[in-house]
Chain A
Amino acid sequence: MRKYLITACFLLICSLSWAQQHVITGTIVDSDGPLPGVSVYQKDSPSRGTVTNLEGKYRLVLDKSPGALSFSYIGYLSQEVNVAGRSVINLTMMPDAKGLEEVIVIGYGTQKRITNTGAVSSISGDNLRQSPSASLQNSLIGRVPGVITQQQSGRPGGDGAQILVRGLSTTNGNGAPLVIVDDLEYAGNIADIDPDQIETFTVLKDASTTAVYGIRGANGVIVITTRRGKTGKAQITVRSENSLQQPSYVPEYLDSYESALLFNQAVNNDIALGIAPSRTAFSDEALEAFKNGTDPYRYPNVDWTDELIKPFSLQTRNNINVQGGMEKAKYFISAGYLGQDGLIKDFSQNSGMNSNYYYKRYNFRSNLDVQPSKTLTLNLDLSGNFSERNSPNNRGRANHDNVFFEISDMNQLAPWAYPIYNPDGSYGINPGNTLNNIVGRLTEYGYVREFRNDLTANFRATQKLDFITQGLSAKGVVGYNGYGGFTRSLTRNGTDGSDFPAYSYDSQTGSYTILNTNIYRTTLPNLSNSNNAGTRKLNWQASLNYDRTFGSKHRIYALVLYNYLNDISGADVPDVFEGYTFRLGYDYKSKYLLELNAGYNGTSKFSQAERYSLFPAISAGWNISEEPFFKDNIKFVDLLKIRGSYGLTGSDNLSGGFDYVYLPTYDRSATGTGESTWNYSLGDTPTAINGIRESTLGNIVTWEKEIQSNIGLELRMFKGSLNVVADVYSRYRYDILQERQVSAASGISSQLPPANIGKVRNRGFETQVTYNGRVNDLNYNVSGNISVSKNKRVFFDEPLKAYPWKTLTGQSIGSELGYEFLGFYTEADIADVEIAKPSTGQVFAGDLKYSDLNGDGIINADDMSVMPYANLPNTILGLTLGANYKNFSFSITAQSALNFSLSARNESVVVMSNNFREIHKDAWTPENSVNPSFPRLSTVANISSLTTLSNISTFWSRRSDYLRIKTAEIAYSLPKELVGKVGLGSARIYVNGYNLLTWSLKEKNIYDIDPENQARSTGEDFYPQQKIYNLGVQVAF
């Protein structure tokens, strides 16, 4: 209705000057044939336009004084043709071989690549869609220079990689970049953005591009633009993918016989050395039974991985999008579904509660563009996703509520632990187990199910103000983003078998003994729920934009923008972010480029006096290739640009605790109880007294700041075939909030507020080289990139260390102290008093020998030094090969991460705590003393066991550098004639994969887990990273 009204108004206005109709038609082709989707519009009246159809044809009704028609298409040179006297215009579009017109997205706007002076890398939505990974950021890995990623988990709904722009520069927060989707700060999880909706994905990396985001720019900015409708008939695209997922690494545990042999080896080792073993060895009878499987109830031999874990889990992704429009209104509508299944076998099907891991996500987006007048554009975007994440409530030992942990746990789930089922079909158990039968638990213990709803409404209006001065426009944005959710848990949470019966079966007498005599039936489950507080963000922006070229030489462009963001979450104080953004640029014939950017903004997290600050940046570029002396002489170079930037940005992404640190806090005891020292009473009859104490002191602090400088080179040669972009940067983060070290005699050492004292230097470079070539019908491209980011903690008020090697200042973030592994102690070493021994515990041949750094003959904490590598890689390499031949296309991306270490879950290698694996067979023994893979097996903890962090060493912390085939795709497009017959526009079938093959480059992976795993992720979140094999079909109508 409203549309009609607007149209009616418009017609009324226009009809005053209505005189005659001028219709023009034509066919647009390129060298390969008809070119659909070319924009055709009247140059002085851009709202009067259309796009070519599948046959490359168009028809356009022009107004009285048509002047020229403009033809444009991404990747092709634009053309203008004078209409005068013509009714048919046919054109051949020429590819933009030099890529000079390519437009890139920057903060609050766009810029032609040729005149851009900042460090920006981007990837198109099409390329992102080549990866089957469920999380958006995983598709970037190895493809976008300047992005450092690490995928730490494979859990459905939690497999998104940690993503860092140019590495990590801070010790606070996660260093995550700011994510902007269509001008609005994105509050949700980047993994939940459906790649189907993405037009471009751009990473802003230096100060000149991020200063406009001021206080939020220092960690880099990711700008995502979503797809929008184009004029023309409705185009419907349907994509359906079905994938198989499989862990990239599966820990393989030995069977009962082999495990028992190693178990006995550990016991016998101890006995031989006169150590009292903490366990009793298996008898020969038991070994025999394990070996022959003669009595599987008394001597079970269960392959728990096999029994509990599926070889594959399924993933489904389906999308549909519809786009099209008329002159005045265009639309892009998309809906998607993602389903990821978990690896646990479907035990819970019969209990009526699905307790497997799974993730379901529904995405939608509706982008509408309306042009009520020639100069006014309105955009209304609605988008959101609804997700459901499930995990089993298996109630494992301690806080390890995780099946994958349990499978590794020898104390509960050794291969000989218990038979899953007794001969009568009841659950088996061993009375020595503190946890009930695991299959029973996975069947009966229910689930935790997290629901989350994320909604965004984004309304934008752009008004051209050419009547004031040419090139001026105003824009307003109102955005709403809200998310909330709740968790539902259905569980039987008894312990020691108080929830379902399990029996230990005596195979000799045939008798059954119940685990818990109070329970002979399965109890009723408990239901509980919790609501997440939910968050609501409101964002207003108003801006004036100016861009005009004078005399085709002097281009001046400017932006003034006001931005206000109000973030309310539960009972928290509303977080307010407010500020102004300025941009002023000048270029002379696209040759000399100069741009000033600034954000003046603040956040309510800091005290009023310290709330606002200016973040300026300057950048300049010189297109040498535009100079006549160059242009005339070196013809094979299309573009040679040198650019540089320098500026200041800030970060208020400080993770929790740092909000309002300017306020001192006082704690009040609620009723005189609580903390034990607060349990004080006075009076003849004990009367609890209330106390108030100072907690963290207040300190007027401000956000972190970062000075960034960047020098870049862009080179394009051979008609755009070879592209090189190289950037070198230096980032200096200072004012990092950290605690000072203050003498405890001041009385405040435990209540110190953070102060702006930390400093981190982060230097690096990135290069991308791309080559596009063609041999007859074969188009191919090769693209390689390298990203290096090395950080160093320049200052963090570290107390003086007793020994210089313990000093973490000057080391990279995340560095740890550990022993330096020298080899294994030999008998001779043990006898030699000159060779250093540990200060505590006995040491024997076959134990790990560490270097005695201070030379005192004792190995203790004083000998732990900074280990050479942290858990975060500092170098990422990527290589993508692509080709298409007729209807086939192919692409493959190999990715490598270098210079990092992995010290895995304690439990994955700890003898007597962890199930035995192949690696343990190569443990040190007197016979196997030359270069074994593992120290002497023992039943008691010693210097060689990785039971605590105090035993970390370079033996356990392994270099984890890897090379992997990250993604690969082969696609076939069905011939158009063929699909046309069945009424389809196009059809494409493809197979692709993710994490297909992995090689460890430096050291043996002794943990059998994915090299990207987070160091020592022992807890509830461990879930193996996945390989994905995917089959997809894409059909357009």
Chain B
Amino acid sequence: MLNFRVMKMKNLYIAYIAVTLAIGFTGCSKPEDGPLERITEDYVFDPSDKNGKYAEMYLNDIYSVLPDGFNRIDGNFLDAATDDAIPSQAGTEIDAIIKGSLSVSNNPDDAWSKNYESIRKANLFLNKIDIVPVSDAIKNTWKAEARFLRAMFYFELLKRYGGIPLIADEVLSPDNPKNFSRSSFEECVNYIVAECDAIRDAVQKDPLPSTDYGRISNGAVLALKSRTLLYAASPLYNGGNTGSSPAQQLLQGYASFDKERWNRAAVAANDLISGAAGKFSLLSAANFKANQVFLNRRNSEVILAHLGADNKDLETDNGPVGYSNPNLASGRTNPTQNLVDAFPGANGRPISESASLYNEQDPYSNRDPRLAQTVLFNGAEWLKLPIETFEGGKDKPNNTTRQTNTGYYLRKFLGNFEASSQYGNSPHNYPIFRYADMLLSYAEAKNEYLDAPDASIYQVLYDLRLRAGIARGSQAGYSHGLKNIMTKEEMRQVIRNERRLELAFEEHRFWDLRRWKLADEVLNQPLAGMKITKAAGGSLSFEKVQVADIAFVDPKMYFYPIPDSEILKNSNLVQNSGW
């Protein structure tokens, strides 16, 4: 009996210990609820953070998506897919554009996802920033900046694809994915313009304070508006609609031509130009000559640029190949003879005219000084040595695949290393908008609007040429190499060529040829280079040779295809004509 009771007590005791141990163990080790060190949305947009530190960093990140044109297509400038240049490397992705083999699944310049991701970033910022207790002044500026960036991204989409889906202010989550439809071209233009109008006074005024340089200013807003309207007024969209179905026509331009669109574009450009005093101006001839537009981080000509730290990437990517470490370079983007020939003589007269004093056997002398600022040609000084692009020369040794295909290397944007022994870091900030391009936009739009060019148009060209180093000259009937009286059509040709020269490699030519609806003509011609033969005595002979072909499939390549993956996911998206 006693035995039984003792056993029972003992058993109960052990059971009790077992139970308390089990409970005790678990009770004292409540786990962490998750990874607490992660940055959360609540921490980025924090109602208690008066400094808005992380919110600002979120906005800053959106800046980094601003367009950057340096060697961006698999190591090449986009201009290497125009008649201005060709890539030196065979088999890079840009070939798909050059050879016209662009497809719904292969587009090296596909910007669809990237821009929509950035649009979402801006929308998220706009949706959340009101939570953060920074001052209204700062907050309103930030919001305006985000809206500008968003409008900029839409413009990047618009010029590639035509009308695209407008997301408005919605921040989408994976739970409410939408099957968007494309808005019409007109709606997209109006949206961008309306956004610019809405924020022009909310962003900071020019000139920006020193620490804020690079942020969106009033000038950038006006510039975006101006460029959008310039594009919208252009033949491709304004009267030259390539849409093959009614739905596509809505997406690929306006239904019919309207001359007033040119006026709106001219007014928008003039809006910036007329208020530019004290903010933007052309550089002096001396500074321009010293390439200060591109090598001076902040100058009066750049309105908005993609900013980065100083580096020597451009030099090592594009510099001539005839130098050894540490000046080893890849010579990626090679300007063509076609571009070189577009530069007039030193007096401003086209080289096809005898008055230009152009000499075929001394082709680089007596030329528009901008040629030497854009292209490195044989004999030009570089890193204390003359460039040798004659056959077998150090920069065209013909025993490597990494050398120029045209006889030219890119000079524009590179640091002033003519007399240096070694590449160093220099500012390389891709200009998105600059004053000269606004002037040319104005001139182009105004000329198209008027029946005959007025003095303001001539003035733009005179100003640009003068500061480029083309003097007014003394030839009767000519100023700066231009006829004193031109028809609208003559002026159109002059402006278009001036854009090509002044804005070379700034990603204008590629889009200009499209919006002018000239791509089918210009981009289906052979591209030339210069074959220079050095005789035993040292004398050079020059021969223009065809070095490449370029193909533009008309008319479908006027617009990029909406990516296949996107069409297959979203049946509401209408594909562009021809794809």
Tell me the A residues contacting B by CB distance below 8 Å. Answer: 13-14, 16-17, 373-376, 461, 463, 465, 467, 474, 476, 478, 540-542, 562, 564, 566, 573-574, 576, 578, 604, 608, 660, 663-669, 677-694, 697, 699, 740-753, 755, 799-802
Cβ-defined contact, A680 with B172, below 8 A: no
CB-CB nearest in chain A for B60: A689
Known: A573-B36, A663-B34, A682-B211. 7 other contacts (CB 8 A): A689-B60, A692-B54, A694-B124, A697-B173, A743-B180, A746-B178, A800-B569
Q: A689 to B38, alpha carbons, bound, how many Å?
A: 20
Q: A606 to B116, alpha carbons, bound, how many Å?
A: 30
Is B6 on the interface with A (CB-CB < 8 A)? yes
Cβ-defined contact, A694 with B116, below 8 A: no
Ordered by A's residue number, 26 sampled pairs between the chains whose C-beta atoms are within 8 Å are A13-B3, A461-B14, A463-B15, A463-B18, A467-B8, A542-B22, A566-B31, A573-B31, A574-B31, A660-B35, A679-B308, A680-B307, A682-B63, A684-B210, A684-B213, A686-B307, A687-B211, A689-B60, A691-B64, A693-B61, A743-B566, A745-B116, A746-B178, A749-B113, A749-B116, A800-B568
Is B58 on the interface with A (CB-CB < 8 A)? yes
Cβ-defined contact, A691 with B308, below 8 A: no
Looking at the assembled complex, report how far the CB atom of A769 sits from the nearest CB atom of chain B, in whole angstroms.
Answer: 45
CB-CB nearest in chain A for B563: A744
Q: Which residues of A contact B179 (CB under 8 A)?
A: 743
CB-CB nearest in chain A for B427: A686
- Of the candidates B15, B41, B175, B570, which one forms a contact with A745 in the assembled complex, judged by CB atoms under 8 Å apart? B570
Cβ-defined contact, A542 with B38, below 8 A: no
Cβ-defined contact, A17 with B211, below 8 A: no
Q: Which residues of A contact B167 (CB under 8 A)?
A: 745-747
Cβ-defined contact, B40 with A663, below 8 A: yes
CB-CB nearest in chain B for A608: B33
Most interface-central of B10, B165, B180, B212 (chain A CB within 10 A):
B10
Cβ-defined contact, B32 with A750, below 8 A: no
Most interface-central of B10, B39, B175, B210 (chain A CB within 10 A):
B39
Cβ-defined contact, A694 with B212, below 8 A: no
Cβ-defined contact, A742 with B121, below 8 A: no
Cβ-defined contact, A743 with B213, below 8 A: no
Is B117 on the interface with A (CB-CB < 8 A)? yes
Chain A proximity mask over B420-444: 1 for CB below 8 Å, otherwise 0 = 0000000100000000000000000
Looking at the assembled complex, report how far the CB atom of B459 sits from the nearest CB atom of chain A, in whole angstroms.
Answer: 31
Q: A741 to B119, alpha carbons, bound, how many Å?
A: 19
Most interface-central of A574, A688, A691, A697 (chain B CB within 10 A):
A691
Residues B396-426 near A (CB distance < 8 A): none
Cβ-defined contact, B174 with A753, below 8 A: yes
Cβ-defined contact, B33 with A752, below 8 A: no
Q: A16-B2, A16-B3, A753-B174 are in contact. Are A802 and B63 (CB under 8 A)?
A: no
Q: Which residues of B contact A752 (CB under 8 A)?
A: 174
Is B309 on the interface with A (CB-CB < 8 A)? yes
Most interface-central of A463, A745, A750, A752 (chain B CB within 10 A):
A745
Q: A683-B212, A752-B174 are in contact. Are A744 and B113 (CB under 8 A)?
A: yes
Q: A744-B116, A755-B174 are in contact. Are A660 and B34 (CB under 8 A)?
A: yes
Cβ-defined contact, A376 with B41, below 8 A: no
Cβ-defined contact, A692 with B57, below 8 A: yes
Q: What total count of A-B pairs have CB within 8 Å?
A: 218
Cβ-defined contact, B121 with A693, below 8 A: yes
Residues B11-40 near A (CB distance < 8 A): 11, 14-15, 18-19, 21-22, 25-26, 29, 31-36, 38-40
Looking at the assembled complex, report how far the CB atom of B251 sits from the nearest CB atom of chain A, in whole angstroms.
Answer: 14
Looking at the assembled complex, report how far the CB atom of B333 sits from the nearest CB atom of chain A, in whole angstroms.
Answer: 18
Cβ-defined contact, A686 with B566, below 8 A: no
Q: Which residues of A contact B123 (CB under 8 A)?
A: 747
Please classify the interface of chain A as helix (H, G, I), strand (E, B), loop, or mixed, using the class held by over half of its residues.
Answer: loop
- Of the candidates B21, B35, B58, B298, which one forms a contact with A691 in the assembled complex, judged by CB atoms under 8 Å apart? B58
CB-CB nearest in chain B for A741: B569
Cβ-defined contact, B39 with A683, below 8 A: no
Q: Which residues of A contact B40 (CB under 8 A)?
A: 663-664, 666
CB-CB nearest in chain B for A740: B174
Looking at the assembled complex, report how far the CB atom of B152 sits from the nearest CB atom of chain A, in whole angstroms.
Answer: 15
CB-CB nearest in chain A for B178: A746
Cβ-defined contact, B35 with A742, below 8 A: no
Cβ-defined contact, B120 with A748, below 8 A: yes
Cβ-defined contact, A663 with B35, below 8 A: yes
Q: A13 to B2, alpha carbons, bound, how many Å?
A: 9
Cβ-defined contact, A684 with B64, below 8 A: no
Cβ-defined contact, A666 with B39, below 8 A: yes
Q: A666-B40, A747-B120, A747-B167 are in contact. Are A680 and B22 (CB under 8 A)?
A: no
Cβ-defined contact, B44 with A743, below 8 A: no
- Of the candidates B22, B113, B211, which one forms a contact with A540 in the assembled complex, judged by CB atoms under 8 Å apart? B22
CB-CB nearest in chain B for A14: B3
Q: A12 to B214, alpha carbons, bound, how many Å?
A: 91
Is B215 on the interface with A (CB-CB < 8 A)? yes
Chain A proximity mask over B545-579: 1 for CB below 8 Å, otherwise 0 = 00000000000000000011110111101000000
Looking at the assembled complex, report how far the CB atom of B141 sits from the nearest CB atom of chain A, in whole angstroms.
Answer: 14
Q: A461-B18, A740-B177, A744-B112 are in contact. Are A801 and B7 (CB under 8 A)?
A: no
- Of the candidates A573, A692, A748, A751, which one forms a contact with B44 in the assembled complex, judged by CB atoms under 8 Å apart? A692
CB-CB nearest in chain A for B6: A13
Is B499 on the interface with A (CB-CB < 8 A)? no
CB-CB nearest in chain A for B119: A747
- Of the candidates A665, A686, A694, which one forms a contact with B38 in the assembled complex, judged by CB atoms under 8 Å apart? A665
Is B164 on the interface with A (CB-CB < 8 A)? yes
Q: A207 to B307, alpha carbons, bound, how many Å?
A: 61
Cβ-defined contact, A748 with B35, below 8 A: no
Is B65 on the interface with A (CB-CB < 8 A)? yes
Is B381 on the interface with A (CB-CB < 8 A)? no
- Of the candidates B11, B568, B570, which one forms a contact with A801 in the assembled complex, judged by CB atoms under 8 Å apart? B568
CB-CB nearest in chain A for B311: A679
CB-CB nearest in chain B for A673: B309
Q: A730 to B253, alpha carbons, bound, how many Å?
A: 57
CB-CB nearest in chain B for A17: B3
Cβ-defined contact, B57 with A691, below 8 A: yes
Cβ-defined contact, B174 with A681, below 8 A: no
Is B259 on the interface with A (CB-CB < 8 A)? no
Residues B168-227 near A (CB distance < 8 A): 172-175, 177-180, 210-215
Q: Which residues of B contact A564 (CB under 8 A)?
A: 25-26
Is B490 on the interface with A (CB-CB < 8 A)? no
Q: Which residues of B contact A663 (CB under 8 A)?
A: 34-35, 38, 40
Q: A564 to B30, alpha carbons, bound, how many Å?
A: 11
Q: Which residues of B contact A745 (CB under 8 A)?
A: 112, 116, 164-165, 167, 180, 566, 570
Most interface-central of A14, A660, A664, A694 (chain B CB within 10 A):
A694
Looking at the assembled complex, report how far the CB atom of A678 sits from the nearest CB atom of chain B, in whole angstroms.
Answer: 6
Cβ-defined contact, B568 with A666, below 8 A: no
Cβ-defined contact, B15 with A474, below 8 A: yes
Q: Which residues of A contact B568 (CB under 8 A)?
A: 799-802
- Of the candidates B33, B124, B309, which one forms a contact with A681 in the assembled complex, judged by CB atoms under 8 Å apart? B309
Q: A749 to B566, alpha carbons, bound, how many Å?
A: 10
Q: A573 to B173, alpha carbons, bound, how many Å?
A: 27
Q: A681 to B298, alpha carbons, bound, how many Å?
A: 13
Q: A16-B2, A689-B60, A755-B174 are in contact. Are A683 and B22 (CB under 8 A)?
A: no
Looking at the assembled complex, report how far the CB atom of A421 sits from the nearest CB atom of chain B, in whole angstroms.
Answer: 36
Cβ-defined contact, A467 with B113, below 8 A: no
CB-CB nearest in chain B for A605: B34
Q: Which residues of A contact B64 (CB under 8 A)?
A: 677-680, 691
Is B310 on the interface with A (CB-CB < 8 A)? yes
Residues B256-276 near A (CB distance < 8 A): none
Cβ-defined contact, A686 with B308, below 8 A: yes
Q: Which residues of B contact A742 (CB under 8 A)?
A: 174, 177, 569
Q: A373 to B12, alpha carbons, bound, how many Å?
A: 13
- Of the candidates B14, B26, B39, B119, which one forms a contact with A376 in the assembled complex, judged by CB atoms under 8 Å apart? B14
Q: A465 to B11, alpha carbons, bound, how many Å?
A: 8
Q: Which residues of A contact B569 (CB under 8 A)?
A: 741-744, 799-800
Looking at the assembled complex, report how far the CB atom of B271 sits from the nearest CB atom of chain A, in whole angstroms.
Answer: 26
Q: A799 to B65, alpha carbons, bound, how many Å?
A: 28
Cβ-defined contact, B308 with A573, below 8 A: no
